[in-house]
Amino acid sequence: MSIVQAVLLGILGGFGIWDSRVFGLWMIERPLILGPLVGIILGDLQTGIIVGASLELVMMGVVGIGSATPPDTVSGSILATAFAITSGLDISAAVALALPIATLGQLVGIVDRTANAFFVSKADKAAERGDFSGVDRALWGGAALFFASYFVLVFA
């Protein structure tokens, strides 16, 4: 895998985690979409489609209810598909690899949500002063935190 492909996968990870947080819900974060996108980036669309569809079947029920943080489908899908393509893993091995990676992504998400409290307090203080641009900066600061952490997780 080249450094350009790794950077593109990191950017895909950042946009994938932004899907339900910044863009609305376009379903970019689902394995059914991420798998083929990884396949396009790495030059093996067929394997990307197969791994993405297989992971979608496993992760269809993964949803956060209340304050629960579910395993992260974004990092699990991207990295499992990338490992399947670059190292020639079969589909069952890629699916088995996705769940531990998704659990690691879950921990990153918990750290991000905890660190995001800093930006929430900044937004509250800016709102009390009537500083709408300060609220905007604080909200984008939290979004940048998510993007950067998932970029690093997928890139590394």
The pLDDT score that the predictor gives to residue 65 is: 80
Of 42 and 62, the structure prediction assigns the larger pLDDT to 42
The pLDDT score that the predictor gives to residue 107 is: 93
**Confidence check: pLDDT of 144 > 80:** yes
Q: Considering the entire predicted model, what is its pTM? A: 0.89
Long-range CB contact pairs, 48-56, < 8 A, 24+: 48/81, 48/85, 50/91, 51/80, 51/81, 51/84, 51/85, 51/91, 51/94, 51/95, 52/77, 52/81, 54/91, 54/94, 54/95, 55/31, 55/80, 55/81, 55/94, 55/95, 55/98, 56/30, 56/31, 56/32
Q: What is the mean pLDDT of the chain?
A: 92
Of 23 and 60, the structure prediction assigns the larger pLDDT to 60
**Confidence check: pLDDT of 64 > 90:** no
**Confidence check: pLDDT of 138 > 80:** yes
- Give residue-wise pLDDT tens across range 102-127: 999 999 999 999 999 999 999 999 99
Q: 3-class DSSP state for residue 141?
A: helix
d(CA 35, CA 152): 19
Average pLDDT over residues 86-92: 90
